[in-house]
Amino acid sequence: MSEAAINDLALETRFLPRFLRDPDAEALLQVCAEKFAWDRSIPDRPFARFGVPYGDDENREVIVFHPEVEPLLSRIEEEFGFRPDSCSVHWYLRGESFVGFHSDNIEDIADGTGVIIFSLGAARVLRFRWKQDPSVTRDFLLERGSLLFMSRAVQEDWKHGVPRQPDTGERMSLVFRKIPR
Ligand SMILES: O=C(O)CCC(=O)C(=O)O
């Protein structure tokens, strides 16, 4: 496929590299690490959840957002015009911690919204892979304090994942969405 054709593929994303600046971004990882209730069933990538449940988790009760997360919700609402009501948090303890290629379920994303990945800690690559031709990829370097929005439509055409990156320190991602009612 020609480079021009690849550039025409819709990868509907919006990237805000300095959504939260230091020292706030630097301090927040430690606060989250200490205060969140972590599920450690994946040993090198603990996770936590807030807000409205979805997917495999949908029968649990709503968990109120932690006060540390609330200011981010208001900032996201100002920037994107919707207020997320659900958040899953992934804590990559080391560079070997990873997430394989997958698409998020569009039934868990309200119309007119998208999935928002907010990053803390070490910079990691988020890689998109086009479903029609997996040799077509797009990389975003998600640095501390950055925010990446991906539209609902992105999930239909692309998979995404966070590859292993040895010799990298810990990283945390807070993944926000609004669940359809
Ligand atoms: O940690 C990340 O940046 C990506 C997480 C992810 O792929 C997901 O929650 O679906």
- Predicted TM-score (pTM) of the model is 0.93
CATH superfamily, with its number, for domain 3-177: Alpha-ketoglutarate-dependent dioxygenase AlkB-like (2.60.120.590)
Decide: 12 and 115 in contact? Cβ < 8 Å.
Answer: no
Which of 49, 117, 165 for a ligand 1 pocket mutation test, highest count of atoms within 8 Å of Cβ?
117
Evaluate if residue 8 carries a pLDDT over 80. Answer: no
Distance 137 CA to ligand 1 centre (A): 16
Q: Assess whether pLDDT exceeds 90 at residue 90.
A: yes
Distance CA 88, CA 52 (A): 10
Average pLDDT of the chain, as a whole number: 92
Per-residue pLDDT for 97 more than 80?
yes
* Ligand 1 lining (C-beta closer than 6 Å): 88, 90, 99, 104, 117, 126, 142, 160, 162, 173, 175
